[in-house]
Amino acid sequence: MAVVTLSAGTLVVAVDARTWPQALVLSAGAIAAFVASVRWTAVGIPRVVLPCLIVTAAVWIVGALVLDAHAAFFGISVVGSLYAPKVPRHRVVAAVGLVTFVALVGAAKLLIAPDDVTDVLPLYVLLPAGVTVVMAGSMFAGQVFYDLVEELEDARERESELAVVQERMRFASDLHDIQGHTLHVVKLKITLAERLLGTDVRRAGEELREVRALVGDTITQTKELAYAQRRLNLSAELENAKNLFEAAGIHVRVEREAEVDERANELLGQVLRETTTNILRHAQATYVRITLSEAGIAVLNDGAGTTPLSGLSGLSTLKERIADNGGELTVEKRDGRFLTRAQFPFRRSER
């Protein structure tokens, strides 16, 4: 823009200036237009714009009414057209005011030379006003495009920030799954070991060894999570859930309606792990029934506690994750029983 403005301003001075006063005045307008165009990409309206606007307005007035330089409108049309679209409010009013000013100054020439209407009207009114309208319209279109690009960039930034937040939430959720589950199991096994110390020292030792192995496994899973290598296995989670429920004195029954689809394996494993933790933490269960289908799992237990559904934050987060993968997680609490069901729409025939 600066190069174009400087080139056009130089051409205006070279073509229209016939005397030294005309050259000086037209040069002042061209220089002011160049300075304003250099600062055009700045955010908002720089301080140099107002002085440039005053100089170019004065150049147009002097050029039209004193020096007979009809090209003196160049500076005011450039500066006004560049910055009218950047006015915070009333942009259209600013553009209309610019064109009106240019036309009125040119029309004032008729007061000085009323007999030269055929020369004054096209050179001092129609041409300057028309060029200003075209330039302002072009700049308004350019500003609209520029604003659109900025909005798209802002949207991309917001999308990137959202992706970072979602990744942090996913990491926090996975860490909660690992650490929370392990801590509750460790608490359960240590409590069992304390009860066994006076009656069965060998069994208490086994429980403590299992606690040590569990802690070691949790450390490994945490490292895998940090390096994005962690994947849950439904079969392993199922075996782990059975052992935990039996250790807590809860009768557990597993029903397999079909082999689980590999595409649902990991997410269903997460559902089972979170549900197992919730039962051990919040329920006074005596039995648990786990039903596996091709693309779903249902876990039913009795002894449902008083914890409201809204308090199960782990399941809420997991519900969103399953929904993002096209599935559905539902929970139901009725007559002292709690049902957690996760289901995906695909079937093995869709492979």
Amino acid at 60: W
Buried b (16+ CB within 10 A) or exposed e, 305-320: beeeeeebebbebbbe
0.75 exceeded by pTM: no
In tens digits, the chain (351 residues) has pLDDT values of 778 888 888 888 888 888 888 889 889 888 988 888 888 777 777 888 888 889 999 999 998 888 888 888 888 998 888 888 888 788 888 888 989 998 999 888 888 877 777 888 888 888 888 888 988 888 887 777 777 887 888 877 777 677 556 656 666 766 776 677 677 778 888 888 888 888 888 888 888 888 888 788 778 777 766 654 455 678 878 888 887 788 778 899 999 888 888 888 888 888 888 888 888 878 888 999 999 998 899 999 998 866 666 556 677 778 888 888 889 999 988 888 999 999 988 654 454
* DSSP codes joined into one string, 288-325: EEEEEETTEEEEEESS--S--GGG-HHHHHHHHHHHHT
Given strand 328-334, what is the order of strands in its sheet? Answer: 251-256, 287-293, 296-301, 337-343, 328-334
pLDDT tens for each residue of 108-129 = 888 887 777 788 888 888 888 8
pLDDT tens for each residue of 139-182 = 887 777 777 887 888 877 777 677 556 656 666 766 776 677 67
* Residue 293 CA: distances (Å) to CA of 258, 275, 288: 5, 17, 17
Angle between helices 127-196 and 262-282 (to 10 degrees): 60
Residues in the chain: 351
- Euclidean distance between the first and the last CA atom of the chain, given in angstroms as a whole number: 57
